Amino acid sequence: MTFLDMLRDASAQNNSMLCVGLDPEPTRFPAALKGDARKIYDFCAAIVDATADLACSFKPQIAYFAAHGAEDQLERLMQHMRANAPHVPVILDAKRGDIGSTAEQYAKEAFERYGADAVTLSPFMGFDSIAPYLAYHGKGAFLLCRTSNPGGDDLQIQRLSSVEGEPLLYEHVARLAQGPWNRNGQLGLVVGATYPQEIERVRGIAPTLPLLIPGVGAQGGDAVATVRAGLREGGPIIVNSSRSILYASGGEDFASAARTEAERTRAVLEAARP
């Protein structure tokens, strides 16, 4: 199955637009695990098991594993998700962006070493930095477009030239992803939940692409506005929440509390359907 097939099936089976982000911070683990980076796998696997029937995808952020030398735990986690939640696609949040020969190695890391179904990428170096990922047919690639961080304004809302009416940079990225770069139908876009009006603008430019939307939950994005701005027939959205689910409780009930928060978030998203 392709990434898009898996996404559609998981969304329908779990009645969900919710992506559960896996950003493990050992200092925030519950007391029995707290501060122990060797327990990253145990923590994340418990979250996966608690939310596997609520999520349309999982999104492990590779930096949270690599910073602790826990890449082997990420490999185990990927295997765990394959075995215990095989219907839920996994997006490796890596935000890679490099020249073609190096991109080939990063693509191999994402899709062969970790077995991800999709990956996040920076498009700043152009199409030849994206193409190696698209050689893995059926895999997905989400390009950073309009991100939720304040510093995104430094580049993303700049016009391509001083001519009135020229697109902003993020609009140009959306057009490339919807059009000439999307040769095998594998591309999606990352747009932040903190900018619902710009989500709507991106959706207008890229009506059929899946949108990965971080920023709901701890970052303050409006879940209802996000759904109404981005969801269209034939254009799926994947709304990510990480910290508010992962750290819903600091006690032994962390997994059940994560499930409760995931259920709540999923319900809010579903209620916002137009």
Whether residue 107 contacts residue 135, with contact meaning beta carbons closer than 8 Å, is answered with yes
Q: What share of the chain is helix, strand, coil (3-state, %, to 5)?
A: 45, 15, 35
Whether residue 188 contacts residue 118, with contact meaning beta carbons closer than 8 Å, is answered with yes
Eight-class DSSP state of 166: P
* CA dist 261 → 7, 49, 199, 264 (Å): 21, 14, 24, 5
* CA dist 87 → 22, 104, 170 (Å): 17, 27, 32
Eight-class DSSP state of 128: G
The CB-side HSE value for 128 (13 A sphere, CA atoms) comes to 5
What 3-state class would DSSP assign to 264? Answer: helix
Distance CA 261, CA 244 (A): 7
Q: Could you tell me the two tokens for 143?
A: 């390009």
User: Is 108 an annotated catalytic residue?
Assistant: no
Looking only at the bridges linking them, the beta strands covering 91-96 and 18-22 are unpaired
**Annotated catalytic residue: which of 34, 39, 95, 108?**
95
- Minimal CA–CA distance to 218: which of 246, 190, 195, 198? 246
* Residue 197 CA to its chain's centroid (Å): 20
Distance CA 85, CA 68 (A): 25
Active site residues: 95
